[in-house]
């Protein structure tokens, strides 16, 4: 995926386990931004299918960041009470058959309003590390990515940069998707009365 060929197109996303098992699929996410570092999707109203045959719709507003050279992706949900960041430790994605595909490596980082930064699913990671025989090099790389994301958070970089999010909001305005942001406000975690401050 390059040269902005997919801007404004609708694509799918598939998440796999290390053994190649497809366990979750999202359909019809709009590509709203792409540069040399990221592709960013708008997930509102995407249809989600689970491995257990459960099907549901993603009804929240936000952005899904897919770095092109990093071992994670980030789903940012924007709600009236603040920003909800969910980082998946994952393989670098590949793009084929109109679909972003990646391997989910279990460890996640949650940063929610009125809460602290938390690393979650450690037990699942420990179990699957043995079950799927994750290479030691991969495990070390994932830990380094976690450290990098924590650095982004405390230094207001990348998806934590309020100005970057405002620029994405402008893109939504131009793309006439802003109506889907009714009653939603992109929060600056430094502003007064922001739930980031607790």
- Residue 18 lies inside a defined structural domain of this protein: yes
Q: What is the SS3 assignment for 185?
A: coil
Q: Is 127 part of any domain?
A: yes
CATH of the domain at 171: 2.40.380.10
Let me know if residue 22 belongs to a domain. yes
- Examine residue 187 and state whether it is found in any structural domain, yes or no: no
pLDDT of residue 7: 83
Q: What angle do CA 39, 88, 192 make, to 5 degrees?
A: 80
Which residue is associated with the tokens 């994750």? Answer: 134
Tens digit of pLDDT for each residue in 78-87?
888 889 999 9
169-194, pLDDT tens digit by residue? 888 888 776 555 544 555 665 553 33
What range defines the domain where residue 25 resides?
A: 10-181
Q: Total domain count for the chain?
A: 1
- With b meaning 16 or more CB within 10 Å and e meaning fewer, what string describes 64-102? bbbbeebbbbbbbbbbeebbbbbbbbbbebeeeeeebbb
Whether 196 is in a domain gets the answer no
Average pLDDT, rounded, for the chain: 88
Strand, helix or coil for residue 54: coil
* Residue 78 belongs to a domain: yes
- Whether 194 is in a domain gets the answer no
Residue 53 located in a structural domain: yes
């Amino acid at each position: 995926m390059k040269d902005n060929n997919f801007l404004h197109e609708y694509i799918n996303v598939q998440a796999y386990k290390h053994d190649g098992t497809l366990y979750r699929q999202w359909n019809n996410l709009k590509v709203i931004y792409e540069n040399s570092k990221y592709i960013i999707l708008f997930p509102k109203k995407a249809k989600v299918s689970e491995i257990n045959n459960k099907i549901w719709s993603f009804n929240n507003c936000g952005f899904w960041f897919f770095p092109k050279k990093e071992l994670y992706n980030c789903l940012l949900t924007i709600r009236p009470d603040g920003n909800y960041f969910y980082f998946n430790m994952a393989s670098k994605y590949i793009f084929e058959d109109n679909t972003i595909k990646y391997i989910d490596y279990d460890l996640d980082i949650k940063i929610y309003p009125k809460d602290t930064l938390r690393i979650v699913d450690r037990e699942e990671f420990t179990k699957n590390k043995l079950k799927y025989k994750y290479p030691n090099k991969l495990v070390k790389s994932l830990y380094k990515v976690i450290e990098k994301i924590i650095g982004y958070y405390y230094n207001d970089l990348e998806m934590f940069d309020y100005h970057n999010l405002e620029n994405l909001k402008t893109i939504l305005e131009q793309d006439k998707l802003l109506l889907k942001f009714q009653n939603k406000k992109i929060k600056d975690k430094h502003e007064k009365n922001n739930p980031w401050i607790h």
